[in-house]
Amino acid sequence: MRVSWQSLYDEIYACEKCELCRQIHNKVPGQGDIHARLMFIGEGPGADEDMQGLAFVGAAGQLLTKMIAAMGYDREQVYICNIVKCRPPHNRTPEPLEAQTCLPYLRQQVALVRPRVIVLLGATAARTLLREDFRITREHGIWVERKGVWFMPTYHPAALLRDESKKREAWHDLQKVMEKMKEIGEEASDGGHEGI
């Protein structure tokens, strides 16, 4: 059964299913257009996100905003969330069990939003949703279709901040997303820009 947004967010805010909730300031369920055709999924909240209760508002978030703008969208026109809704201590990678424990919330978000295309930001998102041994360096930019939803794995914006040379490849992946949006009749109204 499909739950309502209200009950889903209530459940997330009350969740104590794993240890991650013990040390946080805020849950970070995700935000954006709940009818978006395009969704972005990251790894988990960082320090800024934990303080504000919003996904991708720190340095990586600012780059993500630029990436979305370069594709011709406003942040408000897409839906943005993470694999885990609580900040892992010291920004460590979420454990596979933590990711699996949190996954039902993400599945419900996807069921409610019903995006046509999902951009997976980084290895944790790709490993949790596609295949546990997914290698982002080798396999980014390759479409995976599941039940009519198109998944595009690409580099996490934090990885792009650490290594600017990856930006070109990431932009290439995002251009494929723009092409797919056009193909399915969901093209951005301003058509996109020169790059990230």
86 binds ligand URA (CB under 6 A): no
User: What whole-number distance in Å separates Cα of residue 187 and Cα of residue 37?
Assistant: 10
Token pair listed for 3: 């739950």
Site string for ligand URA, 152-181 (x = CB under 6 A): ------x-----------------------
Q: Which residues, 12 to 71, sit near ligand URA by CB under 6 A?
A: 42-46, 49, 55-56, 58, 60-61
Token pair listed for 46: 């960082």
Q: Which is nearer to ligand URA, 158 or 174 (CB)?
A: 158
Q: How many residues interact with ligand URA (rule CB under 6 A)?
A: 13
Q: How far is CA 77 from CA 148, 150, 186, 188, in A?
A: 21, 18, 12, 9
Contacts of 104 (CB under 8 A, 6+ apart): none
DSSP state, residue 24? -
Residue nearest to ligand URA (CB): 42
Q: How far is CA 134 from CA 54, 119, 177, in A?
A: 27, 15, 19
Q: Which is nearer to ligand URA, 51 or 69 (CB)?
A: 51
Question: Cβ of residue 144: shortest distance to ligand URA, in angstroms?
Answer: 19
Residues that bind ligand URA (CB under 6 A): 42-46, 49, 55-56, 58, 60-61, 82, 158
